[in-house]
A and B are shown apart, each in its own frame.
Chain A
Amino acid sequence: MNNLPIDLTLQPTTLDLWHVGLAGVAALFLLLFMIALIGWLAARRRARKPVKPEIKVVEKRVEVEKIVEVEKRVQAPAPEPIILKQATDDAALQLLAILQKEARFIDFVNENMTAYSDADIGAAARIVHQGCSKALQEHFVIAPVSTDAEGSRLTLNPGFDAAAFRLTGNIVGEAPFQGVLIHKGWKITRVDLPKLTEGHDPSIIAPAEVEL
């Protein structure tokens, strides 16, 4: 057997210096790899912030039913850290206070509906409706996102605001998109909430009333 084929299954039968050195180098590489992996994972964990649900009181978006091909949305890699905003409680409490004052909103929603007839509920609904519409008119300027008539066809050109126009249906191909306006959408162009004095407790949205 002077023509020996290389048999890879062979175990070294002798423990020479060469093999010892080889094993040492392999162990060193493994160790370095482990350290690098742990370091990388730790870095990733640090980069990630605690995630809270995103609460944004935004306009109702326009829904445009898509009937033409739409581009495939390429998910861009998001290397930047994501910052989420937390809405302040005060503004929400203020809005509730206004709706309660003008429209008896909390009273209405807290009422047990099953006990009353539709006529009674209808009468109360008038107060709520009238008050809500007054409150909205006084404190917000509301405009439709799209001025086109609902049901009409419209074109969305490349670079359209995807937050203001929501595509639905057969979304394929590239912009410009042709579609039918299903809902015209609403946007708030101005918010005009009352300012609060220092020390005003906004959590009392309706004070208890005591007649003397």
Chain B
Amino acid sequence: MSGGGQAHRWIAPAQLSHGAISAAIADPIQKRGPGKLWFYALLATLPFVLVTLGAIGAVLTVGIGLSGVNTTVVWGFSIANYVWWIGIGNAGTLISSMLLLTRQRWRASINRFAEAMTLFAAGIAGIFPIIHLGRPLYAYWLAPYPNTMDLWPQWRSALVWDFWAILSYILFSALFWFTGLLPDLATMRDRATTRRGQLIYGALALGWRNSARHWQVYETYHKTMAALAVPLVCSVHSIVGLDFAASLMPGWQESIFPPYFVVGAMYSGFAMVVVIAIFVRWGLRLQSVITPAHFDVMGKVMLFASVVMTLSYATEWFMAWYGGEHPDRDVVRYFFEGDYRWFYYALIACNCVVPQALWFPFARRNLWVLAGISVVINIGMWLERILIVWNTLSHGHAMSLWRTYHTSLYDLAILFGPLGLFVLGFLVLVRIFPIVSMHEVRQISHDEGAAA
């Protein structure tokens, strides 16, 4: 599916000139003030940010006992949140790289904030494994740093693989996002009217002069990075999947986990991109560059992911029965009949049933409906992650220690608080950097033959 053949599909015809595109994206930052709404939004995120910081401070001083984890269910919200946020973080790079490589031109308008979303989400995700530790101050022991006792991490542990996966993913995402921003930073520098703006954007643009040679190097570099990103996107969530799969617990020890986690990540990531796109489009008045066609395509991707997820769940149930092992069968029975069954039914409704509405073009094009479905998918995917943790640990091999999780106030704080942190990141970002890639949209408008 390429936008080339169909004129003006990915960009509204009214604002097709390069100048108009740049103005539409850069002016809200450089010419217009932040506006009341922005301040209100910023104010609204503050309680969440404070709750997050307070919760982190509390868990560092009082101990991980604040969480609802117990002797049997030793993992809880921190792990589920981690997997959820890293899943959200997956979509940005996926959109940037995989769609770039497959020449999905429509990605141009959304890849920038999708990448930013990746960066924030992966950053937030990175907090959770640390605050989930009993002794967070020693988190660095997972790194192979030189020490007098010649101690190394234990390479067979999936957690060490995970440490590298998320570290390289965050570094890569930051690099990819920043270098992708260079031409736009140069544009910002050139459009800046204040000395300070010229200096800051100028420094960040790293001397981009828009020369043909720059563009040639940039294109090569960007494609290479994109090619590198694809395996990385897959690896990061595969390895998160291995955190569970490389165990011997029923419900975790499944070879389907890595691909299933990658698709799940894409699923929730796209859902989050849709939500953010709707907000960005409305808040920054970018209706001209983020068009209904974008939402239509993303809706189809979510539909596809939904079908794959449903198949994955079905495979899990089938394999538990077909494998015939008592613990595996029993844990699946526990999904449906156990202590968390209502959550499980909710998860199936959210991830498998509701998104089937996306078969209908109306649902994909009506932003209210699409936003609703996306939120539902994100709730469903969080439920999936917490249930992976809860179901297996609550109902393991040792029947005498079967028990449930005891959700605490701290758990709720670290569940909802970081959402504010995430929004805060975006609010700051939209005031500093172009939230849509100007040079890539210009490229599209050029390709679509609209640019003067």
The finding on whether chains A and B are genuine partners in a shared complex, rather than unrelated, reads no
Q: Which A residues are within 8 Å of any B CB, using their own CB? A: none
